[in-house]
Structure formats: structure tokens, C-alpha cells
Structure 1
């Protein structure tokens, strides 16, 4: 999934989305706050979300998928 690297490997390795925004009922962009994340099998892939002034709300995601710990 993604680049094949786990989210914990961070920038330069794992895939990411940043500056997340949604469109509200007035068709205006709003910054996303307080997202929930879930990875069902962290031996296969994972996800890590955070916030920074530069990137806004962002998350890293990914993993190698099929491996000895992830059948």
C-alpha cells in the first residue's frame, strides 16, 4: 500500500496526504481537524496522523503488505 513503507518511517519513505480539507454545505473549503484513523492489521500496513502549522492536518500511511508477519 502506498510506497511499500510503513507510516512510522515518515517523510521520504512512506506515502502521505497533507493540508486536508473538506467542502462544507456552503461549498466552502474547511480545514480538517481531529481525524480518526484505523489500520486493521499493523503487520501489513499502518497509518499515523498529526498536525503542523506548515502541513495542516496530515497523515502518513502504507506498508509492504504480504510478508512473513502479514499472510
Structure 2
């Protein structure tokens, strides 16, 4: 790839390093507005599947929700 690409930088272009790249493009934040939280309509349910019965209940709950 070195035969096809020519790498340019501030030195071989004769540029001031303070005026190019990250130092040359400062971003100044003037104002930050607070964004209100959106109301959620989702419901959450914690299902424990630590034992065999809990695992069966979890799978059944997933299948019920899938078939709605």
C-alpha cells in the first residue's frame, strides 16, 4: 500500500501544527439544555429461573408472550 498512498502531515505541507488536526479545531460548548425524560409505557416483571420449577415458569411465560 505504501506504493499507492502518499501520507501528508503538517510538516511536509508546511503548516502550523496548532492550526490543524485536533488542536486546530476546538469545539466550544455554549449551552447545554436539559432533556426531559420520556414517559415509559413498558412494564417489567422479574422472573427467577434458579431451580427447575422456576425455569419451567420462565419458559412458559416467554411462550405466552410470544403467542400473544
**TMscore range, shorter length:** under 0.3
TM-score scaled to structure 2, two decimals?
A: 0.18
Q: Which has the larger radius of gyration?
A: 2
Q: Which has the higher contact order (CA 8 A, sep 6+)?
A: 1
- Answer 1 or 2: which has greater strand percent: 1
Greater helix proportion: 2
Query: TM-score of the superposition, structure 1-length normalised?
Result: 0.18
